[in-house]
Structure 1
Amino acid sequence: MEIALEAQGLGKRYGKTWALRDCSLHLPAGRIAALVGPNGAGKSTLLHLAVGLLRPDAGAVRIFGESPYDNPELLPEIGFVAQDTPLYRDFTAAELVALGGRLNRRWDGALARNRLAQLGIPPNLRVGKLSGGQRAQVALALALAKRPLLLLLDEPVASLDPLARREFLQSLMGSVAESETTVLLSSHLLADLERVCDYLVVLNAARVQLVGPVDELVEGHRRLVGPRHDGAPIPGVTAVVRASHTARQSTLLVRADGPVHDPDWTEQDVTLEDLILAYLADGETPASHTAWEVPA
């Protein structure tokens, strides 16, 4: 199995504050992965480390087995759309496509032009006069024109309206299906991620909390409703992720290694949103001290 992105004990510090700490994860090639976490969790830091814009203060990050910071030859294999979709606003989309051809040794200008034409984006209008959704589509088209093996997107749809978000994600899915590019997509919009992503990385409090294939992560967790829990072990439960209590009843979101057969507990399936919110609720939950990873 080829690994597109690998981090081992990765950390980045600003002064005395760790923006990212003890980050270890594997992203298999060919996946469309969601990178989820609250503001300040370290998502942008991880992405900037992965493209070599930052140097790690601890650990290492590798793209297809190589360090992006120490190996500039790796950069043509990576496409990156930053959070504010930075583009030269005085350039037209057509001029940016032409510029990309001059700056990248492997460049598919026809792909970029065709995508922009399909989306109805005026090629000769200055980028600064385009809408936010159109600028995001231009940035995506430029990133895809590199024909990257790994595409990193830092909250590219955060400022878009629902229609523009849907168009952007449909455009992304179509391009990825054609090229088999590995994608790591950072976003707060859980419903959008659930539609397009098959792999999940959850960051909270500067650490990885959860990582693995979406289906296996969801299948490995349950919601249990039953008598007030006193902390005693429950057969089949490996960890309690979150718990809420009333005077007589407890509701637990748990990791389970199989069905929970205790008749005192009613077992319910969880959704991807349930799972993500449970791991984001508190950076100091028992489950967060060691990231839970499902082998891909």
Structure 2
Amino acid sequence: RPASGPAQLARVGFVAQDTPTYAALSVADHLRLGARLNPTWDAHLAEGRIRDLGLDPGLRVGRLSGGQRAQVALTLAVSKRPDLLILDEPVAALDPLARREFLQGLMEYVAEHGTTVILSSHLVSDLERVCDHLVSLVASRVQIAGDVDDLLGSHFRLTTARRDAADLPEGMRVLQATHTERQSTFIVRMDTPGNEPDGVLEPLGLEDLVLTYMAEGAAGPARRPVQEAQR
């Protein structure tokens, strides 16, 4: 059974949304605690990360910034050398610079050690930079899943003279449509190349792609998000 014993838990690293640490303990205390609790603890890795981050090992964690505390939490998680690293909204409360530094450190670790990472986040722009596979959930239901490159290569925004979705070429799945008096804009999925439609076809960014599927999931199967805007 998953997580049924210490041997399995030792193979999983976890960083929660609030990046929990002990405010009264020093950075060095956290590393000593990690070493005592984890039989696979890599002291060289832990000490090297703290040194590279420029953190004073003797400083109490409660005096660190939010970004620095997040880095300490990540250090504790990766220094147990897990096979799987689970991150639950780890950068949600961080400023943009701290988010970038956290994710950069994460990617450097993954590139060196090949660890599998599951990252939960509402910050889609961050996902596009660091993830190679996407699963989007709405109300605990999967709306879209696939390799990021494949998803970006099959979703487009089509702008054309006003027309009905039924008039688009075969092979286009319309996910969203908006209309003005003279113009129609469609978010479409094309898994295989087909007839080029009249109009302007542009690649869809990951954030727009995710938001489209979230809107579709929130609307339910009975209705698609079609909006009318008269000019």
In structure 2, C-alpha distance between the alignment counterparts of 1:72 and 1:244, rounded to whole Å: 53
Consecutive unaligned residues of structure 2, counting only runs of 5 or more, are: 224-231
Give matches, 1:207-286, under 5 Å: 207-232=141-166, 234-285=168-219
Partner secondary structure for residue 169 of structure 2? coil
CA contact (8 A) 1:239 1:287 kept: no
Percent of paired sites with the same residue: 56
In structure 2, C-alpha distance between the alignment counterparts of 1:287 and 1:233, rounded to whole Å: 21
**Partner of 2:49 in structure 1?**
115
**Partner of 1:136 in structure 2?**
70
Matched, 1:196 2:95: no
**Partner of 2:121 in structure 1?**
187
Q: Does the C-alpha gap of structure 1 residues 228 and 205 become closer, same or farther in structure 2, counting only changes over 3 Å? A: farther
Structure 1-normalised TM-score?
Answer: 0.69
In structure 1, C-alpha distance between the alignment counterparts of 2:87 and 2:47, rounded to whole Å: 20
One-letter amino acid of the counterpart of residue 214, structure 1? V
RMSD: 2.2
**Partner of 1:93 in structure 2?**
27
1:151 to 85, 90, 93: 85
**Highest CA radius of gyration, 1 or 2?**
2
CA contact (8 A) 2:175 2:216 kept: no
CA contact (8 A) 2:11 2:82 kept: yes
The Cα shift of 1:256 comes to: 0.9
One-letter amino acid of the counterpart of residue 15, structure 2? V
Partner secondary structure for residue 237 of structure 1? coil
Partner secondary structure for residue 164 of structure 1? helix
Task: Give deviations 1:226-250, integer Å, cap 9, x for gaps.
Answer: 2334342633435211111112322
Q: Does the C-alpha gap of structure 1 residues 273 and 288 become closer, same or farther in structure 2, counting only changes over 3 Å? A: farther
In structure 1, C-alpha distance between the alignment counterparts of 2:64 and 2:214, rounded to whole Å: 35
Query: Matched residue pairs, number?
Result: 223
Consecutive unaligned residues of structure 1, counting only runs of 5 or more, are: 1-66, 290-296
Q: Runs ≥4 in structure 1, deviation > 6 angstroms?
A: 286-289
Q: Does the C-alpha gap of structure 1 residues 137 and 237 become closer, same or farther in structure 2, counting only changes over 3 Å? A: same
CA contact (8 A) 1:112 1:142 kept: yes
